[in-house]
């Protein structure tokens, strides 16, 4: 569509300062954090900045009538091409719409607009002794709208669950422009089993079913104390069973993370002063709760790790805990250092594996890495089997990029073969839709029927989730 006529039409809905159609402006919206975005240029026809639900509704009504694709966007930190306009159309940049409308401390909930940045929200809640538990690594950048659309999580999901567990209700603009509120129109209840659970349907729908313009989120009391155990293992195989042993001991840590040998090497090359022990696996167990419970759990976890042949250090001192965490917090930035000309690509980076097959999955990833001649740095949320596998390649070598594509496909297929999933938290977007049929079987058709019922013209973020 010619940008001029689109702009003219959009000017009947929005002010001129809410619309961008210039080439440079539109190019700025042709990326997210995926490797895919560096290899393609999906440039939208227009970018708009709505500030009210009625504005979003008018845009969608217009787009439906004209069959123009509409792509909601938060901060663009997604790793799957989810917010890219792969079929052109209008990008809705919701990031400036970032009000926290209300924190209802008595009812342990908050009402927020889609563009609120996760870390800012938690800073605000901290003043009330509350927090919003999902905790993506992109916390300082990503929006709550993007988190809800992707059902994001992070290291605390092991104890607190994912974003879906904290969404009590949503205001959604459907493709037709109709506005609905899920979870009860005026409800402030925490429990609600009245009607179909539409809230769950929209959480994780990656912008394909409607636009989230307001969310009612459940809040949690901040735990009084925290502690951290770092356990090191000379053999990779010894580490995963320790996680299950800790659960058997009746302990549910707030986070359980792993760094494999490649991740340890990468961190030590990036920041030698971190001086992580050169072993095959490091496990980090974060525990939280009341001070005596934290103390007891920390000691129990250390004992379990030592019994399994590991070495363990345990601390509740904030400075020492920060030191012990340092390797894990640096690993994403450090991964590329594993080779001098390397770039860490976000592809095949989010597999989810049953707990009893994590060790096998990590070994298989090492084997695939050797087979394709590409280093893969592995780390992540072993507590719920969500492993981040980061291929490091020379992106200027077409031959190596081709090998990386084959490796990424093999990693995705490995996850499915081991009864896991191609994605634990980052989503499907454009890059994993090819696996939908194998992962979901006949359920895929049921998903497509729902999509068709809510968006018969397929204008909402087309090309995502489904092939
Ligand atoms: C360094 C780094 C670390 C990361 N760590 C984690 C992690 O630990 N856990 C994790 O889960 N993810 C992680 N991610 C991925 C990403 O940050 C999350 O998926 C995040 O929730 C995306 O938010 P966003 O605002 O950037 O959304 P975007 O990337 O802008 O959009 C993501 C998807 O949501 C849709 N969308 C956005 N806003 C709306 C809305 N209002 N209504 C409807 N649909 C909408 C988009 O269309 C798109 O499909 C990480 C990314 C990076 C770069």
Contact 207, 174 (CB under 8 A): no
Ligand 1: distance of its center to the CA of 76 in Å? 7
Joined tokens for residue 99: 């009000």
CA of 147, closest atom in ligand 1: 21
CA of 46 to the centre of ligand 1 (A): 21
**Does the domain formed by 100-221 have CATH 3.40.50.920?**
no
**78 Cα–ligand 1 center, Å:** 4
> In whole angstroms, what is the distance from residue 302 CA to residue 431 CA?
40
* Tens-digit pLDDT profile for residues 156-189: 999 999 999 999 999 999 999 999 999 999 999 9
Q: Choose the residue to mutate in 48, 77, 91, 153 for probing ligand 1, maximizing ligand atoms within 8 Å of C-beta.
A: 77
String of DSSP letters for 140-185: TT-BHHHHHHHT---TTHHHH--GGGGEEEEEEE-TTS-EEESS-T
- Residue among 95, 137, 139 whose CB has most ligand 1 atoms within 8 A, to mutate: 137
Residue with the nearest Cα to atom 27 of ligand 1?
146
**Rounded distance between C-alpha atoms, residue 349 and residue 428, angstroms:** 12
Asked if 43 and 30 count as a contact pair (C-beta separation under 8 A), the reply is yes
Distance 251 CA to ligand 1 centre (A): 30
Which pLDDT score, from 0 to 100, does residue 463 have?
96
Residue with tokens 């509704």: 57
Q: Assign 16 to helix, strand or coil.
A: helix
Calculate how far, in angstroms, residue 202's C-alpha sits from the geometric centre of ligand 1: 15
CATH number attached to the domain at 225-417: 3.40.462.10
Nearest residue CA, atom 28 of ligand 1?
Answer: 76
pLDDT value at position 80? 98
**CA-proximal residue: ligand 1, atom 7 (nearest):** 136
Cβ atoms of 134 and 157 closer than 8 Å: yes
Q: How far is the CA of 148 from the centre of ligand 1 (A)?
A: 8
List, chain by chain if needed, residues with CB within 6 Å of any ligand 1 atom: 32-33, 71-79, 82-83, 94, 114, 136-138, 142-143, 145-147, 149-150, 152-154, 206-207, 211-212, 332, 425-426, 461
Q: Can you tell me the distance from the alpha carbon of 353 to that of 362, in angstroms, rounded to the nearest whole number?
A: 10
Tokens of 334: 């450090």
End-to-end CA distance of the chain: give it in Å, rounded: 24
Q: From atom 50 of ligand 1, which residue's Cα is the shortest distance away?
A: 138
- Say which residues have a Cβ less than 8 Å from residue 307's Cβ, sequence separation at least 6: none
Q: Which residues of the chain have pLDDT under 50?
A: 1-2
Annotated domain spans of the chain: 100-221, 225-417
Q: Which atom of ligand 1 is nearest to the CA of 427?
A: 19
pTM over 0.95: yes
Q: What is the pLDDT of residue 359?
A: 92
Q: Compute, in angstroms, the gap from residue 141 CA to the centroid of ligand 1.
A: 9
Distance 79 CA to ligand 1 centre (A): 7
Q: Let me know: does 428 contact 411? Beta carbons within 8 Å.
A: no
Question: If you measure from the C-alpha of residue 305 to the centroid of ligand 1, how many angstroms do you get, rounded to a whole number?
Answer: 35
SS3 286: strand
Q: What angle do CA 159, 205, 144 make, to 5 degrees?
A: 60
- Given the DSSP bridges, would you call strands 46-48 and 90-93 parallel, antiparallel or unpaired? parallel
> Buried b / exposed e across 292-321, counting CB within 10 Å, b at 16+?
ebbbebbebbbebbeebebebebbeeeeeb
Q: Give the span between the Cα atoms of 412 and 14, in whole angstroms.
A: 43
């Amino acid at each position: 569509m010619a940008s001029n006529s689109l702009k003219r039409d959009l000017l009947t809905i929005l002010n001129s300062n809410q619309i961008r159609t210039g080439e440079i402006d539109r190019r700025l919206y042709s990326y997210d954090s995926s490797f895919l975005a560096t290899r393609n240029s999906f440039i939208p026809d227009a970018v708009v900045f709505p500030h009210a639900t009625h504005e979003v509704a008018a845009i969608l009504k217009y787009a439906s009538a004209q069959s123009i694709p509409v792509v909601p966007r938060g901060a663009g930190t997604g790793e799957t091409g989810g917010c890219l306009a792969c079929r052109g159309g209008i990008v809705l940049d919701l990031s400036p719409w970032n009000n926290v409308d209300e924190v209802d401390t008595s009812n342990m909930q908050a009402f927020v607009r889609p563009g609120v940045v996760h870390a800012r929200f938690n800073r605000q809640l901290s003043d009330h002794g509350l927090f919003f538990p999902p905790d993506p690594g992109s916390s300082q950048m990503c929006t709550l709208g993007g988190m809800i659309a992707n059902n994001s999580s992070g290291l605390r999901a092991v104890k607190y669950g994912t974003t879906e567990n904290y969404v009590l209700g949503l205001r959604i603009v459907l493709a037709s422009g109709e506005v609905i509120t899920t979870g009860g129109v005026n409800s402030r209840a925490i429990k609600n089993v009245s009607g179909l659970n539409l809230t769950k349907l929209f959480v994780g729908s990656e912008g394909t079913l409607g636009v989230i313009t307001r969310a009612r989120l459940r809040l949690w009391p901040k735990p009084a104390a925290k502690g951290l155990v770092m356990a090191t293992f000379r053999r990779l195989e010894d580490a995963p069973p320790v996680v299950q042993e800790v659960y058997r001991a009746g302990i549910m840590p707030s986070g359980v993370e792993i760094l494999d040998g490649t991740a340890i090497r990468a961190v030590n090359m990036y920041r030698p002063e971190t001086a992580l022990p050169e072993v095959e696996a490091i496990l980090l167990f974060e525990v939280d709760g009341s001070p005596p419970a934290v103390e007891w759990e920390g000691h129990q976890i250390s004992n379990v790790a030592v019994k399994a042949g590991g070495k363990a250090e345990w601390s509740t001192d904030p400075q020492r805990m920060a030191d012990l965490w340092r390797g894990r917090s640096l690993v994403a930035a450090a991964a590329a250092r594993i080779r001098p000309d390397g770039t860490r690509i976000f592809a095949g980076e989010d597999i989810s594996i049953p707990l009893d097959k994590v060790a096998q999955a990590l070994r298989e990833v090492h084997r695939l890495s050797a087979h394709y001649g590409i280093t893969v740095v592995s780390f992540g949320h072993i507590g719920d089997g969500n492993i981040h596998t980061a291929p490091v390649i020379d992106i200027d070598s077409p031959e190596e990029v081709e090998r990386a594509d084959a490796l990424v496909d093999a990693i995705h297929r490995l996850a499915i073969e081991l009864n896991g999933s191609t994605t634990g938290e980052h989503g499907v977007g454009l890059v994993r839709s090819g696996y939908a049929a194998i992962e979901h079987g006949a359920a895929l058709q049921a998903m497509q029927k729902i999509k068709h019922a809510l968006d018969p013209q397929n204008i909402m973020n087309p090309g995502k989730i489904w092939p």
